[in-house]
Amino acid sequence: MTTVLRTLLSSALAGLLGLDAVAAGQFLFSRPAFVGPLLGWLNGCPLEGARLGILLEMLYIDIIPVGGVVPPNGTAAAAVGVLAHSAAGLAPSLAFFIGAGAGAAYSPVESWLRTSRSAWNPLILGQVAAGDLNISRWVARALLMENAALAGYCACWVALAAALAAAPGVLALYPGTDFAYSLMPWLGLSGLYFRFRTQAHKK
């Protein structure tokens, strides 16, 4: 029961932190490097949380959210990764890849949210034309929708991870996932190196 409650609260916190990515602030509190150790600490595994978080962060360096690009969601990735380990009981290596998958799979959800907000434009225009200039309610509605979508999404993924942890034969995956996980820092370092190498050599 405590685990379920803690998972739900952590998912809600992830939803709140996720707002920082696009909707509010953009202070980088939504980045996996911060979400990982924070949720890890709150769920009793700060070291694994920090590892998962920074490795996901390094994986995400490759993706730049310019224009209308909907990048994979780093908050969802870190939250699902940490909770898949701490609450669902998966090994950190498998939890990492499940987190990375969850982050990537969030893009269609985010796209759907953005598309659904397009339908607000005629409503807002109508409201303003009628003399009601309260735009705050639309901003608040957008924040609530984003928060609820991300929190619910994380909780669903953790439930899936728990089901996977209970599946027979999952232990057989660990030698493979452990080795792949041990290579992730090097993949991340490569991402960092080539991100700046290309820029430093630009005229």
Partner 1 sequence: MNLMVMEKETKECAASSAGTVRLPQAPMFFRSFFIQAGWNYERFQNIGFVFALLPALRKIYPDPEQLKAAVLRHLSIFNTQPYMANFVLGNVARMEADAAALPGDSPQRRNLPGVKQALASSFASIGDRIFWGRLKPMTTQVCLLVWALGGFSGWLFTGMSGAAPVWLLLAGPLAGILAYSAVAVTLRWRGLGKGYACGGTANCGLDSMNWQRLIRGLSAAGFALSIALAVLSFGMLAGVNYGVCSGGALLAKLSVCLGVLVLHRVTRAFGRSSFFAAGVLLAVSVLLFSVLKLAPFNLYL
Site for partner 1 in 30-89 (CB under 8 A): 31, 33-34, 37-38, 40-41, 46-47, 49-51, 53-55, 57-68, 72
Query: Of the candidates 4, 9, 125, 163, which one interacts with partner 1 according to CB under 8 A?
Result: 125
7 in contact with partner 1 (CB under 8 A):
no
114 in contact with partner 1 (CB under 8 A):
yes
Residues 10-29 that bind partner 1 (CB under 8 A): 22-29
User: What's the rounded Cα separation, in Å, for the pair 11 and 152?
Assistant: 7
99 in contact with partner 1 (CB under 8 A):
no
Asked whether the beta carbons of 185 and 58 are under 8 A apart, the reply is yes
Q: In this structure, what DSSP letter does residue 26 have?
A: -
Q: How far are the Cα atoms of 18, 124, 142 from residue 106, in angstroms, in the given order?
A: 12, 27, 17
**Which window, 8-16, 80-88, 156-164, 172-180, contacts partner 1 (CB under 8 A)?**
172-180
182 in contact with partner 1 (CB under 8 A):
yes
Query: Quick one: 64 or 166, whose CB is closer to partner 1?
Result: 64
Q: Which two tokens stand for residue 11?
A: 């998912």
* Min dist. Cβ of residue 86 to partner 1 (A): 14
Asked whether the beta carbons of 6 and 43 are under 8 A apart, the reply is yes
User: What's the rounded Cα separation, in Å, for the pair 121 and 140?
Assistant: 15
